[in-house]
Structure 1
């Protein structure tokens, strides 16, 4: 069997739905095995988890090898960030857990094997890619939110410092207090305390909640949803790449009509 035949066989195996489901199953087992190690286990269970960890590590090594060989263009394989992530996780997982200065790193990397679920399931990849691509736009929203936080924290520190210096002692502590208000963590206790001195201080809290918890949160959701729609459209376009579009069909029909008209004129 030559290399091309092996590559074709591995490509079919990689694209096989049952193989993909089995890989997901192994990732779930890996997650459960990691969770089981956080408990006090009997010696037999510890031995079993060690053999299971070895099997999972070897399986992931074989799986990433199959994906690499199945790739027609090897350079394209490492242009994908997910492939690089999977390769690093697999390679570092080969470090022995015991009797090694890298044991802690090996244990931590084994935890990240659960993230391989993201690289295997396309829908999860779209979600993560959408979040990453939305970060530049979210950065401006976060900057505007910081400005609002800073203004309200300064006002709160000036007005409420004498009422409760623990919550409003300086601008940094005031920003932490405002974060508590924004997340609705017993924020009414903070409000009622200042309302005893400033009865209209509820305006301060309600306006802040409106700007942060409602307006900015909806901005963030809108940006992420918009980017997700673009990613889904891109994924659908890649899936149907090479297939004729409606525009192409219309143009072909138009050309056929012109040819029929010309033939009729010649007759």
Structure 2
């Protein structure tokens, strides 16, 4: 069991699984090209089964080694659900669902790369703040949609005819996709003061609010990095203390041997 534990937890094993996940992702991408997939269908089929078998064995080995501890880790549960779903749905008629699970295997790179896990953890930590920012953005969208409908309904009814059209238009402006040539300039020709409306909306939503979300995620990622550094520092201190204790024990052994002699 100790040997199996060393094999499963070894860096080489994890690197092999990571490489296999990348290969699986490339194969899934190639399958979307009809000419390649039709010419090499049998190879794709064999490769997919082989990869799924290896993933299944990996999960089974980890469960055997870690036992109950395996399901205490959320990333392990994530792996287990993806692999189990792929195995269960493989021989069923739910082909579309199976494809979803096969694509989800790509997300397993998150579980094998520590930096990706850190980013995802920081994202989840930022959810409470993001939800608050999104609520503020929803209020801003609503206020600007009402104002836009009131000001520009007659000038541009296709964009600001009612509050729903205004909301969709503002979302396009928020993404900065063709907002100037398609929306702003025709309205600006008839209402020169409209630049205040559009510019203020872009500054508030696109620049300020998005920066708040990004800043929160970056702060959480930094906190996680600091926590990891503290943990590694404590581990290093414990290792150095253990080395000192070993040296002291060896010195005591030598003194006792000298006294006996």
Higher normalized helix content (fraction of residues): 2
8 Å CA contact 1:156, 1:174 repeated in 2: yes
- Given that residues 37 and 44 in structure 2 are in contact (C-alpha distance below 8 angstroms), is that contact kept between their aligned partners in structure 1? no
Where does residue 35 of structure 1 map in the other structure?
Answer: 29
1:68 aligns with 2:60: no
Say which SS state the counterpart of residue 93 (structure 2) adopts: coil
Q: Equivalent of 1:187, from 174, 179, 183?
A: 179
Residues 134-170 of structure 1: CA distance to partner in whole angstroms, max 9, x if unpaired? Answer: 0111111111111111111110000100011110011
| Shift, 1:238, TM fit | 3.7
Q: How many residues align?
A: 237
State the Cα RMSD in Å.
2.0
Choose which of 85, 105, 115 in structure 1 pairs with 2:107.
115
| Equivalent residue, structure 2, for 1:82 | 75
Deviation for aligned residue 1:105: 2.3
Which residue of structure 1 lines up, in the alignment, with residue 48 of structure 2?
53
* 8 Å Cα contact 1:149-1:175 kept in structure 2: yes
* Mapped contact 2:30–2:37 kept (Cα < 8 A): no
Instruction: Pick the aligned partner of 1:138 from 130, 134, 147.
Output: 130
Matched, 1:10 2:10: no
Give the CA deviation at 1:51.
1.0
Counterpart position of 2:143: 151
* Partner Cα distance (1:39, 1:139) in 2: 39
CA 1:43–1:156: 2 relative to 1, 3 Å: closer
TM-score, normalising length: structure 1: 0.82
Does the residue aligned with 2:193 lie in a helix, a strand or coil?
A: helix
8 A contact 1:97–1:104 mirrored in 2: no
Is the 1:95–1:103 Cα contact (8 Å) retained in structure 2? no
Q: TM-score, normalised by structure 2?
A: 0.84
Q: Give the Cα–Cα distance (whole angstroms) in 2 for the partners of residues 175 and 192 of structure 1.
A: 18
Structure 1 residue 242: Cα displacement: 4.2
Helix, strand or coil at the partner of 1:94 = helix
Instruction: Identify the residue that residue 92 of structure 1 maps to in structure 2.
Output: 85
Which string of whole-angstrom CA distances, capped at 9 and with x for unpartnered residues, describes residues 227-246 of structure 1? 1111222233344444439x
Cα pair distance change 1:48/1:181, threshold 3 Å: same
